[in-house]
Amino acid sequence: MFEKKAVVFLYAVSPVHMGAGTAIGVIDNPIQRERHTNHPSFAGSGIKGAVRHGFEAIGGDGKLIDVLFGPPSQSGDLYAGAVSFGDAQIVAFPVRSLKNGYVYATCPQALARVRRLIETMTGRSLDWTALPVEEGRCLPTNPSLLSGNKLHLEAFEYEATENDSAALKKIAKDLATKAPPGSGVKGVLRQAARELASGEWGESL
């Protein structure tokens, strides 16, 4: 059993390709996707490998590396490392918008899953109200993103629905204070997320 556990948010500041091998089709180098949702995902083993590689790249102690992550697969003395990573799942996705350049879009399913994960890992209940959305509709936090009553994302058009803005902003605020990293360029991302929560920045649900 692990003595400590934590929820970690991964924020991509450049394009990420977590490959899933090769395939014959329109896309011959597909990304990893969950079988049941088809959402992009990162396998825990891939995250662990990337963290191990980063630790080695900064000159981490070789013995400590093996203790944390386990010995290399070609080693004759195999044992489990002290650190384990679960699979990463989508929380929000940047999408091009007709207004504001781009927005971060999410959906009730993604929010319900991250809520369940956080509650399971921390043992604390999150005060997030479920916000169902009908097909072809959206719950924007920023009305200035709308053209009339429509929201245009990529080549798709969604009709805005009246929503409990307090509940929506509660979720946005929680993500804004917990998910983004914190200093330098990362501080800019955090400030943008705070503006999201205050309704000054474009965010769609």
pLDDT at 92 over 70: yes
Q: Is residue 141 part of a domain?
A: yes
Q: Could you tell me the pTM of the whole model?
A: 0.73
* Rounded mean pLDDT, 80-89: 86
Residues with Cβ within 8 Å of residue 53, at least 6 apart in sequence: none
Domain span at residue 130 reads 90-204
Q: Is residue 53 part of a domain?
A: no
Burial of 114 (0-12, 13-18, 19+ CB in 10 A): buried
pLDDT in tens, 141-160: 788 888 888 999 999 999 98
Q: Total structural domains in the chain?
A: 1
* Rounded mean pLDDT, 36-42: 83
Q: How far apart are the first and last CA of the chain?
A: 37
pLDDT in tens, 59-84: 888 788 888 888 877 777 777 788 88
Q: Is residue 165 part of a domain?
A: yes
Q: Is residue 5 part of a domain?
A: no
3-state secondary structure 142-185: CHHHCECCEEEECCEEEEECCCCHHHHHHHHHHHHHHCCCCCCH
Q: Is residue 151 part of a domain?
A: yes
Q: Is residue 124 part of a domain?
A: yes
Does 22 or 139 have the greater pLDDT score? 139
* Rounded mean pLDDT, 33-38: 81
pLDDT in tens, 109-146: 889 998 998 888 888 888 888 888 888 888 887 888 88
Q: Is residue 146 part of a domain?
A: yes
Q: Is residue 164 part of a domain?
A: yes
